[in-house]
Structures are given as C-alpha cells and as structure tokens.
Amino acid sequence: MPGDRRARTRSFLLSSSHTLACLMRVTLTQVDVQVVPFGSGEQDDRWDLFSGPDLYYEVYDPDGACLYTSAVVDDVGPRDLPVTLDAEVVLQEAGWHVLRLLDADLIEDEVVGCVDFAPDRIRDGRPASTPARAVRLSDGDLTLQLQLEWTEDRS
C-alpha cells in the first residue's frame, strides 16, 4: 500500500567497537518543542500578525529526501510550551538527518529552526533492549526534544 510507511521501511546497520553489529530499526516517536524564539511579550511575537506560530516539522534523510511532514499545531504561544508534535517516523539511513521546524503561513512557510542528528551516533553501542531515549537538541533560540526508539529489525 503506497501510504503505508511500514512498507517503505529499510533498516541500517549500527555497530560499535564495543558490541557486535546487529540490524536495528530506529523510530522517531515524539517531537517536543520546548523553546521557540518569541518577541519580548506574547503580543510581540515575530511569527504571525495576530497569533503565535502554527508549528509543524519535516524530517530529511542524509540525502536530503523528505521522510515525513507532521501535522500543524495552530497558534502556539509561550504559555503553550512545551508542545508535542506527532511522530512515528522510521529513520531509514545511517548518518545525519535534519529536522526543520516551520511556521505554516498562507503565502510562504517560515523556518523557525533546524537541528541535525545522527541516530547511529546517538545509540552509542547500547544494547537493542535499550528503552526509548530522549535527545535534547538546540539551534540558537530553538530547543527540541526528540524521542528515539531502537528495536531489532526482524524483517
């Protein structure tokens, strides 16, 4: 089925000098927006004329292909943070991925910030039974927390 992300899943080899190499699947299960650059007050934000930014994110693989676009959370203000954005993204390749947080607008979406992360480096030789791991990433005034989960790929 074309819309089924599981049908398009490829696994990659994660290895460490301390453990035997094993085939692992890495899934981004949650994205929490913790800090967003606002103006000096709630009415003085720089995103939308009469409201806060309408936030969503895109995840890109190491080759620059867009893997996932989240749903939009409308009118986020400073008091709304942290806000959780939907996720269930299988990261298909080893290497550096990019997560871009955007503000959805009528004419052109604005980039709030970008963070780079490499799931194979984050795992750092932990066993397959390691529970999901929260990773906090920042880009200037933006702070995101990603929830990553490693599981053995039995396909």
CATH number of the domain that residue 126 is part of: 2.60.40.150
3-state secondary structure 51-110: CCCCEEEEEECCCCCEEEECCCECCCCHHHCCEEECCCEEECCCCCEEEEEEECCCCCCE
pLDDT for 154: 65
User: For residue 64, is pLDDT > 90?
Assistant: yes
Tell me the pTM.
0.77
Q: Mean pLDDT over residues 87-114, rounded?
A: 92
Look at the chain and report how many structural domains it folds into.
1
- Could you tell me which residue, 129 or 114, shows the higher pLDDT? 114
Cβ count near 39 (within 10 Å) = 11
Half-sphere exposure at residue 5, Cβ-oriented, CA atoms within 13 angstroms: 13
CA distance 80 to 33: 10
List, in sequence order, every residue forming a beta bridge with 134; answer none if it has no partner. Answer: 147
7-63 pLDDT tens trace: 332 333 333 333 334 566 889 999 999 999 886 554 444 666 678 899 999 999 999
CA distance 90 to 25: 7
Q: Which domain holds residue 104?
A: 5-152
